[in-house]
Chains A and B, each alone.
Chain A
């Protein structure tokens, strides 16, 4: 074994109490980092998942109609006028199959689904409810929002007069799978449909209003033969949605909104959470570094006579330096292994004790390998860095003085 490792490991083994104490300190620090990151990461992922579980990453719509002046002022005629906002009627996206094809080629876009989104009413017996009719191509829509996986009853089938509706809406109307329902659109279309499935996406508004039907059926209801009103996209990395939305807007000239603009408040909250996480991590790391450094400084002082002897009998200063750097590094890496394991355990226990009465996880934690790698790398680096000052001090000891006074 190389001299430096041999001496470093022996010193750590010999001072068991000291070593255990500092390992515990590093482990506690690392487990706090792991636990906190897992918890905050888990919350973020679950919030984003919940949010994106019921909405597309990007929605394309026709631009809002701007009011057009009926009379223009001329150099000789001044006019007083009042601008009345245009009413926004349901319009189809021009040449939408070409738009779909173009959007599919935008880098980062993984799924595209053309659809009709329109307002309407659903009526059953004396129950009446405002609804949002979503006419979609069944398979394509699944890649945007996986309704099939969220079915609570029936099946996902949208052929002909079949619809799949939100669970809250079903409850409001008192319908279940197989029941019939009259729906009327804001454009005057009217039809009787059969409920074949009921879903829950976890979003009140969606579960209380959505009626999914086939694109063709919706086109008939809204008198938009062959047309679509919205194109929904999914992107590879949810956090690039805004950038992709900009690009799509540039290419198509359509109104292009990402989930990030629609949920700006959520994102602001998440980023505040993330910065508080970094603050806590930073201070934990500083505390760990101070702990390692102080223990090693004490160890250098305690061992200065031994270091002097080693130097006197011909051990080069650089080897003494390494002996203490190795101790710092090993304390960091071993401490972070223990801390990672403990942090993971803590996260799992926390996840389990905070389950709500139905047994569902209320605070999901996200433990992934990268978290452990980062924590380990960080702790090892911090260990090495905090060993620099003690190690330099040790390597610069004057052997004669150290032997005399140590």
Chain B
């Protein structure tokens, strides 16, 4: 690694402890650096701290010690309001259970993050959302309630939502966890495509070795520590 562009994500010495008396260490000094345009898989057995790390990187949780720098912004000193604003502008989220808002249409779901951040919708916001929905192949489902879409379709909407405001980093927590093989492949292909076309950086937590094997890099977490961090060389495509 001799490239020099500033990292999108810098995690240094992150420790996360739970409990007051009997302390459990979920993360024990994790250091990770993710450069722009990388599509990285975060793997590890359950209980290894993947989700905890993802929550800390996603600014939904704070580390007990250590620091997280997102796109050059030091997050340690930020208050709740600052973290929310940074989430809105820097990060995109794709969850395992897609987590769309069932009362809203696909288009509205894609617009909501930017809408909630700025307060009012605008034409640009709408155009960007429509373009993304077209890109994920849902142009004819834009005005469907998200509860009327299939699982794979919902996850595609979720990816569009995560990308709507062109975040620097998209965090995906088991994005294919409850999809069938065909839908999984489709969803991963979409992330790969956005990674190539828009240069979006992805950090994907996954159990699926086929998915992990298609990423650029695999970080393996065991017992709250990084056990291995390797670049995938052979890319089947």
Binding site for B on A (CB under 8 A): 1-3, 6, 10-11, 13-14, 305-306, 309-317, 319, 398-400, 403
CB pair B101–A311 under 8 Å, yes or no, is no
Q: Once the chains are docked, how many angstroms separate the CA of A295 from the CA of B223? A: 44
Residue picked from B88, B112, B121, most chain A C-beta under 10 Å: B112
Q: Once the chains are docked, how many angstroms separate the CA of A2 from the CA of B116? A: 9
**20 A–B pairs (Cβ distance < 8 Å), ordered by A:** A3-B112, A3-B115, A3-B119, A3-B120, A6-B115, A10-B103, A11-B103, A14-B102, A306-B99, A309-B93, A312-B58, A313-B92, A313-B112, A314-B88, A314-B116, A315-B88, A315-B112, A317-B84, A399-B60, A403-B99
CB pair B84–A314 under 8 Å, yes or no, is yes
Residue picked from B115, B118, B161, most chain A C-beta under 10 Å: B115
Q: Once the chains are docked, how many angstroms separate the CA of A317 from the CA of B119? A: 12
CB pair B81–A316 under 8 Å, yes or no, is yes
CB-CB under 8 A for A313 and B87, given A6-B115, A319-B119, A400-B60 = yes
Residues of the B chain whose Cβ atoms lie less than 8 Å from the Cβ of A310: 101, 112, 116
Residues of B92-131 contacting chain A, CB below 8 A: 92-93, 95, 99, 101-104, 112-113, 115-121
Residues of the B chain whose Cβ atoms lie less than 8 Å from the Cβ of A315: 84, 88, 112-113, 116-117
Residues of the B chain whose Cβ atoms lie less than 8 Å from the Cβ of A399: 60
Residues of the A chain whose Cβ atoms lie less than 8 Å from the Cβ of B99: 305-306, 309, 403
Residues of B137-191 contacting chain A, CB below 8 A: 161
CB pair B116–A313 under 8 Å, yes or no, is yes
8 shortest A-B CB distances, which residue pairs?
A314-B88, A315-B116, A14-B103, A400-B60, A313-B113, A314-B87, A309-B99, A400-B55
Q: Once the chains are docked, how many angstroms separate the CA of A312 from the CA of B93? A: 8
Q: Once the chains are docked, how many angstroms separate the CA of A399 from the CA of B88? A: 13
Q: Once the chains are docked, how many angstroms separate the CA of A14 from the CA of B145? A: 11
Mark each residue of chain B from 38 to 58: 1 if its CB lies under 8 Å from any CB of chain A, else 0: 000000000000000001001
Q: Once the chains are docked, how many angstroms separate the CA of A319 from the CA of B115? A: 11
CB pair A317–B80 under 8 Å, yes or no, is yes
Residues of the A chain whose Cβ atoms lie less than 8 Å from the Cβ of B118: 3
Q: Once the chains are docked, how many angstroms separate the CA of A403 from the CA of B120? A: 25
CB-CB under 8 A for A309 and B87, given A314-B116, A315-B113, A316-B81 = no
Q: Once the chains are docked, how many angstroms separate the CA of A403 from the CA of B87? A: 15
Q: Once the chains are docked, how many angstroms separate the CA of A316 from the CA of B114? A: 11
Residues of the A chain whose Cβ atoms lie less than 8 Å from the Cβ of B102: 14, 306
* Chain B interfacial residues counted at CB < 8 A: 30
Q: Once the chains are docked, how many angstroms separate the CA of A400 from the CA of B161? A: 18
Closest residue of chain B to A15 (Cβ to Cβ) is B103
CB pair B119–A2 under 8 Å, yes or no, is yes
Q: Once the chains are docked, how many angstroms separate the CA of A318 from the CA of B92? A: 21
Q: How many whole Å from A318's CB to the nearest CB in chain B?
A: 9
Q: How many whole Å from B60's CB to the nearest CB in chain A?
A: 4
CB pair A309–B84 under 8 Å, yes or no, is no
Residues of the B chain whose Cβ atoms lie less than 8 Å from the Cβ of A3: 112, 115-116, 118-121
CB-CB under 8 A for A306 and B113, given A311-B84, A313-B161 = no
Extra inter-chain contacts (5) besides given A3-B121, A6-B115, CB under 8 Å = A1-B121, A3-B119, A14-B102, A314-B88, A319-B116
Residues of the A chain whose Cβ atoms lie less than 8 Å from the Cβ of B61: 400
Closest residue of chain A to B84 (Cβ to Cβ) is A316
- Asked if B231 is an interface residue, CB under 8 A from chain A, the answer is no
CB pair B87–A1 under 8 Å, yes or no, is no
Q: How many whole Å from A229's CB to the nearest CB in chain B?
A: 76
Residues of the A chain whose Cβ atoms lie less than 8 Å from the Cβ of B104: 10
Residues of the B chain whose Cβ atoms lie less than 8 Å from the Cβ of A314: 84-85, 87-89, 91, 113, 116-117
Q: How many whole Å from A213's CB to the nearest CB in chain B?
A: 78
Residue picked from A313, A315, A317, A399, most chain B C-beta under 10 Å: A313
CB pair B117–A1 under 8 Å, yes or no, is no
Q: Once the chains are docked, how many angstroms separate the CA of A10 from the CA of B109? A: 12
Residues of the B chain whose Cβ atoms lie less than 8 Å from the Cβ of A306: 99, 101-102
Q: How many whole Å from B224's CB to the nearest CB in chain A?
A: 17
Residues of the A chain whose Cβ atoms lie less than 8 Å from the Cβ of B115: 3, 6
Residues of the A chain whose Cβ atoms lie less than 8 Å from the Cβ of B87: 312-314
Q: Once the chains are docked, how many angstroms separate the CA of A306 from the CA of B116? A: 13
Q: How many whole Å from A37's CB to the nearest CB in chain B?
A: 38
CB pair A2–B120 under 8 Å, yes or no, is yes
Residues of the B chain whose Cβ atoms lie less than 8 Å from the Cβ of A316: 81, 84-85, 116-117
Q: How many whole Å from A259's CB to the nearest CB in chain B?
A: 59
Closest residue of chain A to B162 (Cβ to Cβ) is A313
Q: Once the chains are docked, how many angstroms separate the CA of A6 from the CA of B95? A: 24
Residues of the B chain whose Cβ atoms lie less than 8 Å from the Cβ of A1: 120-121
Residues of the B chain whose Cβ atoms lie less than 8 Å from the Cβ of A10: 103-104
Q: How many whole Å from B126's CB to the nearest CB in chain A?
A: 13
Q: How many whole Å from B218's CB to the nearest CB in chain A?
A: 25
Q: Once the chains are docked, how many angstroms separate the CA of A403 from the CA of B58? A: 13
Q: How many whole Å from A126's CB to the nearest CB in chain B?
A: 89
Residues of the B chain whose Cβ atoms lie less than 8 Å from the Cβ of A11: 103
Closest residue of chain B to A396 (Cβ to Cβ) is B80
Q: Once the chains are docked, how many angstroms separate the CA of A315 from the CA of B161? A: 13
Q: Once the chains are docked, how many angstroms separate the CA of A403 from the CA of B61? A: 12
CB pair A309–B101 under 8 Å, yes or no, is yes
Residue picked from A10, A309, A319, A399, most chain B C-beta under 10 Å: A309
CB pair B93–A313 under 8 Å, yes or no, is yes
Residues of the A chain whose Cβ atoms lie less than 8 Å from the Cβ of B113: 313-315
Closest residue of chain B to A404 (Cβ to Cβ) is B51
Q: Once the chains are docked, how many angstroms separate the CA of A319 from the CA of B223? A: 38
Q: How many whole Å from A12's CB to the nearest CB in chain B?
A: 10
Q: How many whole Å from A128's CB to the nearest CB in chain B?
A: 86
Closest residue of chain B to A406 (Cβ to Cβ) is B99
Closest residue of chain B to A398 (Cβ to Cβ) is B60
